[in-house]
Amino acid sequence: MGHVFLARHRVFGRRAAVKVVRPDRSGDERVRARFLREVRALGQLDHLNVVHGYDAGTVGRAYFLAMEYVPGPDLGQMLLSGETPPLGRACEFARQAALGLHHMHERGLVHRDVKPSNLSLAEDGRTLKVLDVGLVKNPMADTGEELTRAGWLVGTADYAAPEQVVDARAADHRADQYALGGTLYHMLSGDLPFPEGTPVARALRRVTEVAPPLSAKRPDVPSALAELVGRLLARRPEDRFPSARAVADALAPFATPLTHAADETVVNLGTSPALLTLPDRPQV
């Protein structure tokens, strides 16, 4: 839908990530409505574990959203580098993500695209941020126009919950738990619960099959943690946790406080494209 640039505020000197809607898409009413939904959702959020929004508006015909710059690495980059985080560190990543998601859920928002590349470390290397609310669902702000079409998969095929695969419009906060469970499973085992087949085939398998037990791929994982991951990946939403806060509390005994990312994790940043640099024109 757009491009993301790295910019610096001329007065404050603060770096920001600026999402700009592609000029050839700015005239599309559906694109503008989705962009506005993302802006309004981000404006409701103020939590350590969620990316912060700074400003939004138009410059000429260009729509922009200025956000906190989160340099990473993100968990997707970590996994692509071949480095599997230690168990305690992986659980702390998931615990912090669950806290950020709980903040969203308290405000009636459902992320719908929780995945490793949307969970990134802040500059301090100790704080994990939930990124990209572009697919957020906000039932309380329904304007009567359905932006999610029936039959379309919303989210990422390898992490979307079964009920989201069937009908993204029906997904609630528990769908984010499933996606977080898939992310934690991937970090702990080094693989997806359903790695074979096309993306569509993998998504459909989650609708009809139970995820293989984590212990089958990682026998050394404590049984209580394996059961926790299994509960997150339950096919029926009602079999998951009552809230993302409950998920964070359950993960706490297994989590290890984060030190600076560079101290423990070697990441090949070449596996992911860098942000573009915004030309020195309008202030943000």
**Does 225 lie in the same domain as 95?**
yes
The mean predicted confidence, pLDDT, of the chain is 85
% of the chain at pLDDT higher than 90: 55
> Is there a catalytic annotation at residue 113?
yes
Tell me the average pLDDT across 170-194.
94
**Does 229 lie in the same domain as 138?**
yes
The answer, yes or no, to whether residue 264 has pLDDT greater than 80, is: no
**Does 240 lie in the same domain as 172?**
yes
Residue 177 CB-density burial (10 A; 0-12 exposed, 13-18 middle, 19+ buried): buried
Q: Which two tokens stand for residue 38?
A: 């993302």
pLDDT in the model for residue 223: 96
pLDDT in the model for residue 26: 66
Q: How confident is the model at residue 146 (pLDDT cuts 50, 70, 90)?
A: very low
Q: Which two tokens stand for residue 241?
A: 């946790």
**Does 62 lie in the same domain as 84?**
no
**Does 250 lie in the same domain as 126?**
yes
Q: How confident is the model at residue 283 (pLDDT cuts 50, 70, 90)?
A: very low
* Alpha helices (H) in the chain, listed in sequence order: 29-43, 75-80, 87-106, 162-166, 173-189, 199-208, 214-217, 223-232, 244-251, 261-264
3-state SS, 136-181, equals: CECHHHCCCCCCCCCCCCCCCCCCCCHHHHHCHHHCCHHHHHHHHH
**Does 64 lie in the same domain as 188?**
no
Q: Which of these three, 26, 52, 70, is where a domain ends?
A: 70
CA dihedral 224, 229, 235, 238 (to 10 degrees): 70
Half-sphere exposure of 194 (CA within 13 A, CB side): 23
Q: Which of these three, 54, 70, 86, is where a domain ends?
A: 70
Locus of tokens 């993100």 = 74
DSSP lists the bridge partners of residue 121 as 128
The answer, yes or no, to whether residue 220 has pLDDT greater than 90, is: yes
Structural contact between residues 1 and 25, judged by C-beta atoms closer than 8 angstroms: yes
The domain of 62 spans: 2-70
Tell me the average pLDDT across 188-194.
92
Q: How confident is the model at residue 9 (pLDDT cuts 50, 70, 90)?
A: confident
Q: How confident is the model at residue 163 (pLDDT cuts 50, 70, 90)?
A: very high
One of 24, 46, 113, 124 is an active-site residue; which one?
Answer: 113
Q: Which residue has the higher pLDDT, 196 or 154?
A: 196
3-state SS, 247-268, equals: HHHHHHHHCCCCCCHHHHCCCC
pLDDT by residue (tens digit) across 99-145? 999 999 999 999 999 999 999 999 999 999 999 887 777 665 554 34
**Does 235 lie in the same domain as 171?**
yes
Q: Which of these three, 70, 85, 102, is where a domain ends?
A: 70
Residue 53 lies in a domain: yes
pLDDT in the model for residue 82: 86
Tell me the average pLDDT across 190-217.
89
Side chain identity, residue 21: V
Distances (CA, A) of 109 to 64, 79, 136, 173, 283: 22, 27, 6, 8, 30
**Rounded to two decimals, what is the model's pTM?**
0.85
- Give the residue among 76, 200, 191, 179 at the shortest CA–CA distance from 135: 179
Contact residues for 8 (Cβ-Cβ < 8 A; gap 6+): 14, 15, 16
Looking at 201-210, 241-250, 266-275, which range is the least confident one? 266-275
Residue 251 lies in a domain: yes
**Does 228 lie in the same domain as 140?**
yes
CATH number at residue 96: 1.10.510.10
Q: Return the axis-axis angle of helices 173-189 and 244-251, rounded to nearest 10°.
A: 30
Tell me the average pLDDT across 254-264.
72
Domain count, the chain: 2
Residue 141 lies in a domain: yes
pLDDT in the model for residue 162: 93
The answer, yes or no, to whether residue 273 has pLDDT greater than 70, is: no
**Does 249 lie in the same domain as 123?**
yes
Tell me the average pLDDT across 212-231.
95
**Does 190 lie in the same domain as 252?**
yes
Residue 154 lies in a domain: yes
Q: How confident is the model at residue 147 (pLDDT cuts 50, 70, 90)?
A: very low
Residue 99 lies in a domain: yes
Residue 276 lies in a domain: no
Contact residues for 4 (Cβ-Cβ < 8 A; gap 6+): 17, 18, 19, 20, 275, 276
- Give the residue among 220, 230, 224, 163 at the shortest CA–CA distance from 193: 230
Residue 272 lies in a domain: no
Residue 270 lies in a domain: no
Tell me the average pLDDT across 4-12.
90
The answer, yes or no, to whether residue 279 has pLDDT greater than 90, is: no
pLDDT in the model for residue 280: 53
**Does 181 lie in the same domain as 227?**
yes
Structural contact between residues 53 and 67, judged by C-beta atoms closer than 8 angstroms: yes
**Does 154 lie in the same domain as 119?**
yes
